[in-house]
Amino acid sequence: MSNIDSSKEINQISEKIIRAAIEVHKSMGPGLFESVYEKCLCYELELQKIDFKRQKFIPITYKDKQFDYGFRADLVVQEKVLVELKTVSSILPIHEAQVINYLNLSKLSLGLIINFSVPRLKDGIKRIVCGNL
């Protein structure tokens, strides 16, 4: 698969994730715990037959030692897009740094931060690209 085809596929997956998150936000509204949105988003992805892994471990390597359980991404969708869910007043640089680190460690190129604590979900979505996309 060429880089252009891969980028197109990743962007299509991203769009599906965002549509699913908007559906959850429309139904549930802001103000709930992150775990509630995670369960609802997972269910929405299942309904749409979109493959994902929940609470996926991301190993880390320090010097010559690999630690299998370094971090956990909220979701990894179709082994292509990392998704971090938040319920915060605003997305901060520390949240972006977290996703950049997860992307670098997992060798993925696209991450989405989805903050459900906003009146309009489109205002709570941040795309983060690492590497070539």
Q: What is the 3-state secondary structure (H, E, C) of the chain?
A: CCHHHHHHHHHHHHHHHHHHHHHHHHHHCCCCCHHHHHHHHHHHHHHCCCCEEEEEEEEEEECCEEEEEEEEEEEEECCCEEEEEECCCCCCHHHHHHHHHHHHHHCCCEEEEEECCCCCHHHHEEEEECCCC
> Is pLDDT of 10 > 60?
yes
pLDDT digits (tens, 9 = 90+) for 91-126: 999 999 999 999 999 999 999 999 999 999 999 999
> Is pLDDT of 43 > 70?
yes
**For residues 48-75, average pLDDT:** 91
The number of domains in the chain is 1
Specify the CATH number for the domain of residue 99. 3.40.1350
What domain range includes position 19? 3-129
**pTM across the whole model:** 0.92
